[in-house]
Amino acid sequence: MRKIQAFNGTVNRGFQGNVTYRFQIPSGCRALSIQLTYTKEYPVTITDPDHFRAAYEAYKGRPVSENELKKVLESMKTEIQLALFIGSKFAGNVHIPGTIKELYISEHTSSRGCLPFYPLEGMGKVIVNVFQCVENETFYQLEIKGDYEDVEKN
* 8 A C-beta contact, residue 131 and residue 80: yes
Residue range 2-42+77-148 in CATH 2.60.120.380: yes
Distance between CA atoms of residues 88 and 91, nearest Å: 9
Whether the per-residue pLDDT at 77 is higher than 90: the answer is no
What's the whole-model pTM score? 0.81
Cα–Cα distance, 103 to 65 (Å, whole number): 41
Q: Where do the CATH 2.60.120.380 domains begin and end in the chain?
A: 2-42+77-148
Q: Is 79 exposed, middle or buried (0-12, 13-18, 19+ CB in 10 A)?
A: middle
State pLDDT tens for residues 18-47: 999 999 999 999 999 999 999 888 776 677
Looking at residue 135, its pLDDT comes to 87
**What sign does the CA torsion over 19, 25, 31, 33 have?**
negative
Give the SS3 label for residue 111: coil
For position 154, what pLDDT does the model report? 40
C-beta of residue 50 within 8 angstroms of C-beta of residue 56: no
- Read off the pLDDT of residues 89-114 as tens digits, 9 standing for 90 and up: 999 999 888 899 999 999 999 999 99
123 residue type, one letter = M
